[in-house]
Amino acid sequence: MLDIRELREHPADMEARLKTRDPSIDLAPLFELDDTRRKLISEVEELKAEKNRGSQEVAARKKARQSAEDLFGRLSEISTRTSRLDEALRGVERDIEDLVGRLPNVPHSSVPVGGKDDKIVLRTFGSRREPAFAVRHHLEIGEEKGLLDFRRAAAIAGAKFPMYVGRGALLEMALIQFMIFHHARRGYTPIFPPFVANAESFFVSSQLPKFADDVYAIEKDGLYLNPTAESILVNLHRGEILTAEELPKKYVAYTPCFRREAGSYGEGERGLIRVHQFNKVELFKFTAPETSYAEQDALIEDAESVLQALGMHYRVALLTTEDMAQQASKTVDLEVYLPGQGRYYEVSSCSNCEAFQARRGNIRYRPSPKEKPAFVHTLNGSGLATSRLMAAILENNQAEDGTIEVPAALRPLVGFDTL
């Protein structure tokens, strides 16, 4: 959430920067509501001051054994008027909160202006595999080898829900275990959190109110299925004041993730590319503002280290203003190459959200014992999402005879070298 005071201090500049994310953004209605809010607050304060003076006059007359009957009518009128204004003020504040809650974060100055297809490739790692034989799509070879079963999964839950079978299930679980222990050794505290959260948690993470239609809701209990462990982890220190010595706090968590992913999908999104349920290991940091971008660079390196350990070719891309999630101020994606489709797919988005989420969740730290608390910065990144990683293994590690080589780092966990 943005600070409306900062928006008002530099309205033209802030609106211009926000328009690079969404050209339809117009701050005028927000400022009009804020003007109304300020006017209502002023009126309420004046009425309360008048009521206080009247009450003091009543007390003085009673002490002097004088009648105060002439004041009671006005004091009653003030109370009624104050109640109505307080109700109106609460309504205006709800409208302001809704408008501000839908605004995206202000992009960092290093983020290029552009649309979803304008990302900038910063670097690549390893060589892109282009074998002499035709690499088969991961869905086809996965089902042929009995590693994936989308047909039975659809009968159980519906389309776009995957099911891993046999060695496919073992490999999926090995990926999760390998990544959790890998990041724990790099200084992240492991978390095995709830897979559901309440509305307040989803507001802090920025899933609500803007993306209410995109998440799975358990209406009877007022809970939501987790779309990413970021939604859970950002709430670990909600309402707390941390010390400077505690920062950065680094967490790693595994959760299944549930997303509606509404709409039709093209040929390139068959199989594990875009599904309603997938597994993910998530990295999350709470940092001091002055170190958050250095910590983002370190977060990216931590996510990359998994791909390097698995021997994957990938590229690192800086997203443009229109391509970032609402809460992000700067996002860098890691994308693996799938030779069966001849294109790159994102397996991790590493974002610095600055104080956007911390302001929603009132997550602060005290820079020093004598200083006032300030909002922390929050960072998140997949470390990694397994579905597309599984697709990358099945497509990149194929031999001409159809054999699939298991990455060396996973072999001790699964007990076999090939699929």
CA-CA distance, 404 to 417, in Å (whole number)?
9
Q: Which residues are catalytic?
A: 259, 274, 346, 349, 388
CA-CA distance, 191 to 109, in Å (whole number)?
33
CB 287 within 8 A of CB 376: yes
For 388-400, letters b (16+ CB in 10 Å) and e give bbbbbbbbbbbee
CA 73 to chain centre: 54
CB 325 within 8 A of CB 356: no
| Closest among 2, 88, 81, 111 to 37, alpha carbons compared | 88
CB 338 within 8 A of CB 272: no
Q: State both tokens at 139.
A: 């869905």
CB 254 within 8 A of CB 232: no
Give the list of residues 6+ apart from residue 402 with CB closer than 8 angstroms, or none: 136, 141, 144, 145
SS3 content of the chain, % helix, strand, coil (to 5): 45, 20, 35
Cis omega before residue 104 (within 30°)? Answer: no
